[in-house]
Every structure is written in structure tokens, then in C-alpha cells.
């Protein structure tokens, strides 16, 4: 149904946000460790 579609969209959006956060924070963490 429609609710299931909305739920899948929310889950996908959450994973995308987490993925982007990892991509942004990982180089920063690496540069901090190397310093």
C-alpha cells in the first residue's frame, strides 16, 4: 500500500543521510588521526 511506499522512502532517505555523513566525516577523521 501507500504507507509501505512511504516507509521505504523514509528508510532510503535515512540511509542516504547516514552515508553522506560518513563520506563527509571520514576524511576529517583521517586527517585528525594523521595529525
Cell of 26: 571520514
pTM metric for this prediction: 0.60
The pLDDT value recorded for residue 14 is 98
Beta-carbon count within 10 A of 18 CB: 10
N-to-C CA span, the chain: 52
Cell of 31: 586527517
The residues spanned by each domain of the chain are 1-35
- Output the DSSP codes for 1-35: -HHHHHHHHHHHHHHHHHHHHHHHHHHHHHHHHH-
What is the residue-level pLDDT of the chain in tens, covering all 35 positions?
Answer: 999 999 999 999 999 999 999 999 888 777 877 76
The pLDDT value recorded for residue 34 is 74
Cα 22 → chain centroid: 6
Amino acid at each position: 500500500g501507500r504507507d509501505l511506499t512511504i516507509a521505504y522512502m523514509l528508510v532510503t532517505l535515512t540511509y542516504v543521510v547516514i552515508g553522506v555523513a560518513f563520506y563527509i566525516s571520514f576524511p576529517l577523521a583521517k586527517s585528525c588521526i594523521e595529525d
